[in-house]
């Protein structure tokens, strides 16, 4: 049992720290150049229909964006661009 826990936490640590190291690497230009509209279409549709940008007010989009950051585990760049795109329609 104890070994199982050790293995799980070892893997978790390696994954998290390894991931952090990868995160530090430069993001490819084509990924970095994605617009908020493109990210909105790609990421929202993965789980549900993408909402029309006029659905909510700016303040509501601020809250919805934080909600989806946590629920869909979106990256900071993604949610920032998507939120700005959705708010730009108001």
Partner 1 sequence: MKQKILMTLFGMLIGITSVWSQTDSTAPAPPPNSPSSGTKKLFLPGEAITMYQYSSTKGTPDNSSFTPVQISMFPLVKVSDRIFFDGGIQFGITDGGAVNVGLIEMMLYYRITPWMSAFVGNIAPHFGVYEGLLDDFTCRFGTGVAPVGMVHGPVNQNGVGIQGGFQAGYSKFTYQFYVVNGPQLITDTITHGAGNQSGEMSYGQVVDTKRAKGYGWHVGFLPFSNSRLELTYSGEYTPTTVPDGSGLQNVSSTAMAFGLNYYQVFNPVMVRVIAEYDMIEASNANYTIPSSTGTDSSYTYKNKQNGWFSGATLRATGSKNNFIKNMEIAGRLGAYNPPQNALWGGNQTTQTTFCVTEYLKWDLPLSLEYDVLKQAGSPDTKIFSAIAFFRF
Residues that bind partner 1 (CB under 8 A): 1-2, 4-6, 8-10, 12-13, 15-17, 19-25, 27-28, 30-31, 42-43, 45-52, 55, 59-60, 62-64, 66-67, 69-78, 80
The secondary structure of 7-36 as a DSSP string is HHHHHHHHHHHHHHHHHTSPPPHHHHT--H
Min separation Cβ 39 and partner 1, Å: 8
Is 51 or 88 the residue whose CB approaches partner 1 more closely? Answer: 51
Half-sphere exposure of residue 8, counting CA atoms within 13 Å on the CB side?
Answer: 5
The burial of 86, by beta-carbon neighbours within 10 Å (0-12 exposed, 13-18 middle, 19 or more buried), is given as buried
Is 27 or 35 the residue whose CB approaches partner 1 more closely? Answer: 27
Min separation Cβ 58 and partner 1, Å: 8
Min separation Cβ 74 and partner 1, Å: 6
In 3D space, the residue among 58, 44, 48 whose CA is nearest the CA of residue 90 turns out to be 58
């Amino acid at each position: 049992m104890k070994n199982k826990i050790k293995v799980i936490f070892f893997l978790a640590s390696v994954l998290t720290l390894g991931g952090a190291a990868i995160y530090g690497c430069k993001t490819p230009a084509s990924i970095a150049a994605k617009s908020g509209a493109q990210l909105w279409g790609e990421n929202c549709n993965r789980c549900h229909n993408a909402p029309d940008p006029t659905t909510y007010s700016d303040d509501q989009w601020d809250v919805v964006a934080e909600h989806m950051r946590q629920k869909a585990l979106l990256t900071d760049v993604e949610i920032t661009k998507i939120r700005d795109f959705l708010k730009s329609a108001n």
